[in-house]
Structure formats: structure tokens, C-alpha cells
Amino acid sequence: MNYDKTEVTWKSPSNIALIKYWGKKENQIPLNPSISFTLNKCHTTTTIKFEDSVKFSYDFYFENKRKPEFIPKLDSFFSRIIEFLPSLNNLSLTINSKNSFPHSSGIASSASAFSSIALCLTEIESFYSDLVCKKNFNQKASFISRLGSGSASRSIFGEISCWGKTELYKNSSDHYAIPVINSNSDFPRFCDSILIVDRGTKKVSSTLGHKLMDNHIFKKERISQSHVNFSKLKDSIDTNDIDSFIEIVEKEALTLHALMMTSSPNFILFKPNTIQIIDSIVEYRKKTGVKVCFTLDAGANVHLLYPKNSFEKVQSFIQKSLIQFCNSGMYINDEIGLGPQKI
Ligand code: DP6
């Protein structure tokens, strides 16, 4: 063991999926591959203090307060990961997490939360055993993140990240994400302005939403469509074809919500203002030719994606036409980031 250490801290970002993960099998195995932009400013910082103990135990604090509502998800996370991080059997942990984004923004990022916890746990394991080394650290952290929240597996890597087996990337896996680096591509750096329509907590958890894919009437079609969209999106990034990128990203966002609306029970997560924003974005793009597009999470907020060189123009567009549809005029300017950081 590295006896000098008694605590570790990692900062890990959220991510926004371009091809959506929706539906899973046992043990957090996705129904389809997904791909995402890793964000920069929206992140969670987690510190874990650890000490020897006769058996595993943990205490969890969010911004220095106990949060009983997070305990069921954390309990099931620890029960899934303990066999892969055996040093936990003899440790007692005190976990403290905090988010960079405001409490009431409606952004509940399990991706940044679980990836930051997983990075800390993976580092702690490396002090005690050879199961984790420099070479496999990120892959292991992504594997552990996935067992907390599927989308968290993608936050371990910067820029563009892919999770789920696809023949398009030989080293892709259902068990962990991989970084997708496009050294040949001129594909621009993207910004993501998150337009906050609803500041409340989610009406339907992602976990329940995924479950509704089990018997969904369009399950088979969705799985094949996601592979087709994945391949088109990869081509558009590789060939720097922004128009095709926009078409696929928007189609994926609308498909995600269409799947929710056609599940049993069905649910509608966007709000009238979500649609107002979407309409305004499409109209603005047609009128000005500026390459902006929208994507959505499992909620009402809209992610406005655009190349960095259009930042000024898009900021005036937000002020003039979109801010009126945001809850208390709230939005967060983020951009593609380089991935987690050890503090
Ligand atoms: C719509 O990763 O939050 O954001 O694995 O149950 O924790 P769990 O689900 P989660 O689902 C994210 C769904 C999504 C699409 C995506 O991020 O790919």
C-alpha cells in the first residue's frame, strides 16, 4: 500500500450523447453503442477518504450534506463493483462530492458523479493491488463507472467517447468506453450551450426509462437504427460533414423522446418551451446558415451544439431569441473538454 495517502480527489466532467444509450441488459450492458462529446465546465469533484477496516463501509456526502436519496443507487453500485475492486473489502470510505453546476439547474449528472467516484476508487485500488496499473487505469475506471451509471463510462475520456460494441471500432466494448480520436479530421471544436427549460428533478429516472425498452414495440428497429446512425455520424465526423452531423444528432434526440412517448407506460419529458426552442434553432439555421443544432437528454432542457468559431453569433441568437424560453433566463455555456483531472 501507498501508506502516505489517506484520500484521493478527482474532477470528472459530464457528457452529452450524440448517439443515445437507451435500453440495457443485465449488468449495465447497453442495447446499442453510444457516442458523446465530453464536456468541460459541468463537472463533479469527488474526494474519498479511506482507512483500514474489518469490513467494507461507506458514508456519502453531497456538498457536505448526507443525501439519503442517493443511497439506493450507491448501494447497488458498490454491490456490483466490490468483486472488481477487492481492496474495498477492508476499507471504510468517506465520500464527498460537489458539482460545478447550480443546484436548481435540472442537470442531474450521474455521468460526472459516478465517473468521479469511480476514478477515486480505481486509484485507491491501485495502492493495494496489481489489478490496476498505469496502462489499464482509464479502462478500469470506465468499467467501474459503467456499473454506477452507463453514461458515466464515457466521461473518463476527453473530447469524443464511444461506449458499446460496434464493428466500426475494433477495440470498442460493451464493458467500458474508448476515446475516439480523429487526428486526421478537421472536425471543429464544438460548444454546448445548455438551455435550462425545467429546473426540477427528473419526472422519470433514466433507470426506469431504460427498463421500458425491454418490451418496447420498436426495440428491434431502434437497435438497428442506432447502428446505422452511429456509422453515419462517424462518417460525418471523419469527413468533416457538418450538415450530415446535424441531421443525425437531431434525429437521435427526437428518436429518444419518440421512444419514451411510445413505451408502456408512455411519458412526455419535453415542455412547450422545449419545442419553442427547437423550432427557433431550426428556423435560425435555415435563415442564417449558421451550423447550430439541438440535442436532448431524458428531460426538457435543450443542448445547443455549434462550432466554436460561431460562438459570438450564437450568443446573440440565444440572447435575442432563446433566453425568453429558459427558466429564469438560465443557460450554461460549456464546450468539449479534455476529460477528468486528478486533483
Ligand atoms: C438519455 O446513464 O443516466 O442520457 O445507466 O441507468 O444510470 P443508467 O442511465 P444513464 O442514461 C443516460 C441516458 C441518456 C442518453 C445517453 O447519455 O446516452
Please give the full DSSP string across 298-317, using - where no structure is assigned.
SSS-EEEEEEGGGHHHHHHH
> Looking at residues 189-196, what average pLDDT do you find?
96
SS3 324: helix
Angle between helices 242-261 and 219-238 (to 10 degrees): 160
Mutate to test the pocket of ligand 1, among 81, 114, 143, 151 (most ligand atoms within 8 A of CB): 151
Report the atom number in ligand 1 closest to the C-alpha of 110: 3
Q: How far is it, in rounded angstroms, from Cα 286 to Cα 281?
A: 9
Q: How far is the CA of 26 from the centre of ligand 1 (A)?
A: 15
> Looking at residues 19-33, what average pLDDT do you find?
97
> Looking at residues 9-14, what average pLDDT do you find?
98
> Looking at residues 23-34, what average pLDDT do you find?
97
Residue 239: φ, ψ to 5°: -105, 5
Q: How far is the CA of 173 from the centre of ligand 1 (A)?
A: 17
> Looking at residues 45-60, what average pLDDT do you find?
97
How confident is the model at residue 104, as a pLDDT?
63
How confident is the model at residue 208, as a pLDDT?
87
Q: How far is the CA of 324 from the centre of ligand 1 (A)?
A: 28
From 343, 342, 298, select the one nearest 138 (Cα to Cα).
342
Q: Is 297 within 8 Å of 16 (Cβ atoms)? A: yes
Residue 191: φ, ψ to 5°: -105, 155
191: cell is: 460548444
Share of the chain above pLDDT 70, in %: 96
DSSP type of residue 169: B
Q: How far is the CA of 52 from the centre of ligand 1 (A)?
A: 34
Give the residue whose CA is nearest to atom 6 of ligand 1.
207
Give the residue whose CA is nearest to atom 11 of ligand 1.
206
How confident is the model at residue 108, as a pLDDT?
66
Report the atom number in ligand 1 closest to the C-alpha of 146: 5
How confident is the model at residue 3, as a pLDDT?
55
Q: How far is it, in rounded angstroms, from Cα 35 to Cα 286?
A: 26
How confident is the model at residue 230, as a pLDDT?
98
> Looking at residues 217-243, what average pLDDT do you find?
96
Task: Please state, in angstroms and as integers, the Cα–Cα distance from residue 312 to each residue in 41, 245, 262, 273, 307, following that order.
Answer: 18, 21, 39, 23, 11
Report the atom number in ligand 1 closest to the C-alpha of 34: 18
Report the atom number in ligand 1 closest to the C-alpha of 256: 1
Q: How far is it, in rounded angstroms, from Cα 209 to Cα 46?
A: 27
> Looking at residues 225-239, what average pLDDT do you find?
96
- Ligand 1 neighbours, Cβ below 6 Å, are 17, 20-22, 28, 34, 110, 149-151, 206-207, 210, 256, 297-298
Q: Is the pLDDT of residue 1 over 60?
A: no
Q: How far is the CA of 266 from the centre of ligand 1 (A)?
A: 18
pLDDT band of 206, cuts 50, 70, 90: confident
Q: How far is it, in rounded angstroms, from Cα 148 to Cα 60?
A: 14
Mutate to test the pocket of ligand 1, among 37, 73, 81, 206 (most ligand atoms within 8 A of CB): 206
Give the residue whose CA is nearest to atom 8 of ligand 1.
149
